[in-house]
Structure 1
Amino acid sequence: MLSTLKQILSDNWQWRHQIWDLAKMDLVKTYRGAALGKVWLFTKPAVYILVYWFTLSVGMRHSSDVNGQPFLLWLAAGVFPWFFMSDAINRGSDVYHRYSYLVNRIKFPLSVISTFYTLSIMIIFACTMLFTIVVCLLTGVHLSRYLLQLPLVMLVMFVFWVAWSIMLSPLSAVSKDFANLIKTLSMPFFWLSGILFQLDALPPIGQKIMAFNPVAWCVEAVRDCFVYKQWFWQRPDELIPFLIVFAVVVLLAVRNYRRLHKEVPDVL
């Protein structure tokens, strides 16, 4: 397994320039032909945030400030990361079907596909985070020094969801039923990961279980930067379970890649 891990890392390093080019091409392809172009990067998340805000604040009358920060900022700091992770869960788990023309190219390393796809959606996520910061500055919302950890949080998220894609894409290529199962789990991830509610509201046993949910950790880590104003490593009761899940995902990614990456082109 160690040799396979070295191969994955080596392939990604050797193809690093192509990864960046392919990520940019994927973004261009996504919004090609749209009159508003890059505006669509923000339109869909912004509409969803406004709908959730209206539903929770007006319909359910649940819109009190969180840790002295506006409820809308707390909501944005959860929904923006979710859009990135939603794409990583749904499409990132089945990238070999999405880019089958690359799978069948001779000597093209399959792990690179997971990397450049995750990078392309990470660019969108980075733009939404920058947009959030700008809006905070324009509206007078105080930003603290804890925002400095945001690039590190995003890097951790990037590596984790690349490993997630490498772990599941070979299985999805072999079985479409597995791909459909992963897509089905996307909605439960959304409703059970503290995106629309505070995890502190759960009973202690629920919080311990939720600590092993990578989506919940990512959302809370981003909110640490904007709302909770603390370093994410100051919550070891949540960080340690996440690192355990992280290690398991990496190990399974290496195992599945080693066993199945040669069979994927034949299956597709």
Structure 2
Amino acid sequence: MFATLKEVVGENWHWRRQVWNLAKIDLVKTYRGAALGKVWLFAKPAVYILVFWVALKFGLRSSSDINGKPFLLWLAAGVFPWFFMSDMITTGSDVYRRYPYLVNRIKFPLSLISTFYTLSLLIIFACMMAFTIVVSLATGVHLGRYMLQLPLVMVFMFLFWLAWSMALSPLSAISRDFSNLLKTLGTPFFWLSGILFDISGWPRTARLVASFNPVTWVVQSVRDCFIYNKWFFMDLDSFLPFLCVLLIFIVLALHNYYRLYREVPDVL
């Protein structure tokens, strides 16, 4: 396993320039041919946030300020990370079928496919976070020193969802049923992860189960930066379970990569 870890890290370091270029190319391909171009990076999330805000404010009448911050900012701090994670749950777990030409036609390390795809989505998420910070400051919302931990949260996000992609993409390539199963997880993850509501009011057992949900941890950690003004690593009740899940997926990723990467090109 340590040999596989050394191999994967070595491949990513040796091909780091190609990984960065492929991530940028993937971003360009996503919005190629669109007149508004990069505006679409923010258009879809903005529409979703607006719809949720209207529904919660006028439908459920639940849109009061949270910890002295606007409810709309609280909502954006949960929905923006979700767009990154939603793509990783669906497409990120099946990247080998997304880029079959890299798998079959050229000599290219398979681990790099997950890396550059995750990196391309992280770039989009970073742009969303920068946009949120600018809008917050422009509207007079004070963002404190806890914003300094946002880059660290993004690093943990990158590591977990990279491990997720490397662990599950080989299985998805071999079995379409497994791929379809993973694509059905988007809706449960969305509604059971505290994106649209505060889970602090849940029963203790439910909160304990939710603490092992990586989507919940990411959303809560981003909100710690913008809303709750606390260091995410000080909340050990949620951080330690997340680290356990991260370690499990890293081990699973290395195991599946070692056992299955030779079979993937033959299947595709």
**Could you say which TM-score interval applies, normalised by the shorter chain?**
over 0.9
| Corresponding residue number in structure 2 for 1:262 | 262
| Corresponding residue number in structure 2 for 1:247 | 247
* 1:37 and 2:37 are equivalent in the alignment: yes
Shift of 1:107: 2.7
Aligned residue type for 1:249: F
Over residues 209-267 of structure 1, what are the superposed CA-to-partner deviations in whole Å (9 max), with x where a residue is unaligned? 00000000000000000001100011000000000000000000000111000000000
| Corresponding residue number in structure 2 for 1:147 | 147
| Corresponding residue number in structure 2 for 1:86 | 86
TM-score, normalised to structure 1's length?
Answer: 0.99
Give ranges in structure 2 of 5+ residues lacking alignment. none
| Corresponding residue number in structure 2 for 1:111 | 111
| Corresponding residue number in structure 1 for 2:77 | 77
Where do residues 42-191 of structure 1 align in structure 2 (5 Å cutoff)? 42-191=42-191
Aligned residue type for 1:49: I
Return the alpha-carbon distance in structure 1 between the equivalents of residues 156 and 21 of structure 2: 22
Shift of 1:64: 1.1
| Corresponding residue number in structure 2 for 1:203 | 203
Where do residues 208-223 of structure 1 align in structure 2 (5 Å cutoff)? 208-223=208-223
Identity score, percent: 68
| Corresponding residue number in structure 2 for 1:193 | 193
Aligned residue type for 2:212: F
| Corresponding residue number in structure 2 for 1:2 | 2
Shift of 1:49: 0.2
Give ranges in structure 1 of 5+ residues lacking alignment. none
Return the alpha-carbon distance in structure 2 between the equivalents of residues 175 and 244 of structure 1: 27
Return the alpha-carbon distance in structure 2 between the equivalents of residues 146 and 117 of structure 1: 29
Aligned residue type for 2:7: Q
Shift of 1:67: 1.1
- What is the alpha-carbon root mean square deviation over aligned residues? 0.6
Shift of 1:28: 0.4
| Corresponding residue number in structure 1 for 2:238 | 238
SS at match of 1:81: helix
Over residues 110-164 of structure 1, what are the superposed CA-to-partner deviations in whole Å (9 max), with x where a residue is unaligned? 0100000000011100000000000001100111000000001001101110110
Return the alpha-carbon distance in structure 2 between the equivalents of residues 32 and 92 of structure 1: 20
Shift of 1:2: 1.1
Equivalent pairs, count: 268
Return the alpha-carbon distance in structure 1 between the equivalents of residues 105 and 254 of structure 2: 21
Aligned residue type for 1:183: K
Return the alpha-carbon distance in structure 2 between the equivalents of residues 56 and 201 of structure 1: 18
Return the alpha-carbon distance in structure 1 between the equivalents of residues 82 and 109 of structure 2: 28
Return the alpha-carbon distance in structure 1 between the equivalents of residues 60 and 181 of structure 2: 32
Aligned residue type for 2:53: W
